[in-house]
Amino acid sequence: MLLLSMRKLEKFQIIKNVSSSWFALGVNVLVGIALTPYILHHLGDSAWGIWVLIFSLTGYYGLFDLGIRSSIIRYVSKATAVDDMDSAARIVNTSLFSYSCIGAFTFLITLIISVYIDDIFHKSISPEFHSAAPWLALMVGTSVSLGFPLGVSGGVLEALQQFYVLNWTNVASTLIRAFLIVVTLRHGYGLLMVAFITVMMPVLTSILRTALAWRSLPVPIGVRYIDRPTLREMGTYGGTTLILIISSRLRFKSDSVIIGAFLPAAAITYFNIGSRIVDYAGEIVESLAQIFVPMSSQSDARGDIERLRKIFVAGNRFCAFAILPISATLIILGKSIIALWVGSRYVAPSYPILLILLIPTTLMFAQAASARVLFGMSKHRTWAIVTLAEGLINVLLSIVLVRPYGIIGDAVGTALPLSATMIFFLPGHLCRRLQIRLSRYVQEAYALPLAICAPLIVVLLLMKRWFVPHTYLQLAAHVAVAAAVYAVGLSWVFLSQRALRVGELRTNPVDAQGVGAAIESYSQDI
């Protein structure tokens, strides 16, 4: 009876986390869709390009995270799973001390960057923005620096699987930020005021989350809880995570900097429009996949390898359910979406970027649970090395190709190594690690999502042949009909419980009764 109650509680927690994540994501995407053209048309292509450039540049501060955030999630979730509050206190205090030191260091870097920003990017920053660019760099960099110590609370809430707290505070922050930006632009203020609002809201939100996290995990705060063994343990785990952080910056956040070094700032704007749509699509999957880290970590702590296998396969199946219809819609209706969103003059330069980046990122997001399982198991070293190699190849290819082919070349430099990693390495690596047949995994994870996505593709192609959407109402009609068709198929797989049904996975078969018990247990967990 107690076990059944715990499973019901966990199921309710998962539903609450996922539903709030998707609601928060929906708000964020809708606000972004509405706000991006509003800001772009008020500020202009060059100002928007500088905005993206400086946010991308200060985004490299994330390298100084040193894997601490992932260590908080890993070890706090592990400590709370076995009710070890003393370990939780040491992790929180050691992380807070480390992040405070990192925040102070990055603030010094911010001061240096703000002084020399015009000299570093003289090709991208036009004369009229020479005075604004240093202040923009100072504001954004200071906000990121403060985000390090304030970010401990976010890690704690994720470790406690209280994603709904993060999500609801994010919704409030997004709506308030959007309102203030609209008011600011209507009153004639420019780039710096918009940037100030954008960077201040996350700081205020993090302060609120700190108070909420301490209520959920009221560990004592003090110097005596900061110790070297905990720092060493977190460093061992976080060192590998740091490689992944570096890899992520090289893979997905280097484009704006590379383009800014060789092309005018307006080119960054054209690239950003296509890549941002891809980012919006990926956020839907990321909001779902984030729950698999603490789930995997707790399963690993209990030695439940069978549940890890189910999380891996069913988790990627759910990710495919989410990303495949979105990617198909963007490929078929991408030109209309860009034209209606920011204007028809952006279609020619931005749609090819969307198309080139969308295909490999779809392969990545359809396997979003894979990396989370590796993190939860603390078996992500090989994955980190491979993605680092991919990131370096990405940067080299992008630099080589951006000069002769412009932003198209930069996008191809990102797409080719990413596709290779997602096709030739990640699936096989996870299957070997969890002792699952690769062909069986592919069939179990992706056959069903591909089957129910096929009718949606047919409907979109037929409707586009009937009429191409040129207004929001026409675009909504296309999306609504396609979504209705997909919803029918998705409802069928969930109501028939095929969405949760997972067959035999292990390379060494076990008796049918054992498999049935494992499937039933996992279905109840989900």
The CA dihedral of 251, 292, 382, 437, to the nearest 10 degrees, is -110
Q: What is the mean pLDDT of residues 411-438?
A: 91
Q: Lowest mean pLDDT of 125-134, 144-153, 362-371, 454-463, name the range.
A: 125-134
Asked whether the predicted pLDDT for residue 350 surpasses 60, the reply is: yes
pLDDT in tens, 31-66: 877 777 777 777 776 776 776 777 776 666 766 766
Say what the pTM is: 0.66
In tens, the pLDDT along 156-214 reads 887 777 777 777 888 888 888 888 888 888 877 777 788 888 888 888 888 888 888 88
Tokens, residue 261: 């070094």
Residue 469: C-alpha distances to residues 329, 345, 464, 472, 483 (Å): 13, 16, 8, 8, 16
Does the structure show a pLDDT above 50 at 9?
A: no
* pLDDT per position as a tens digit, 247-289: 877 777 778 778 877 887 778 888 888 888 888 888 778 777 7
Question: Is the predicted pLDDT of residue 123 greater than 70, yes or no?
Answer: no
Count of residues in the chain: 526
- What is the DSSP track for 513-525? HHHHHHHHHHHHH
Mean pLDDT for the stretch of residues 334-347: 88
Q: Mean pLDDT, to the nearest integer, of 419-444?
A: 90
Tell me the backbone φ, ψ of residue 506, rounded to 5 degrees.
Answer: -70, 150
pLDDT band at residue 413 using 50, 70 and 90 as cut-offs: very high
Rounded distance between C-alpha atoms, residue 522 and residue 296, angstroms: 12
Whether the CB-CB separation of 24 and 278 falls below 8 Å is answered with: no
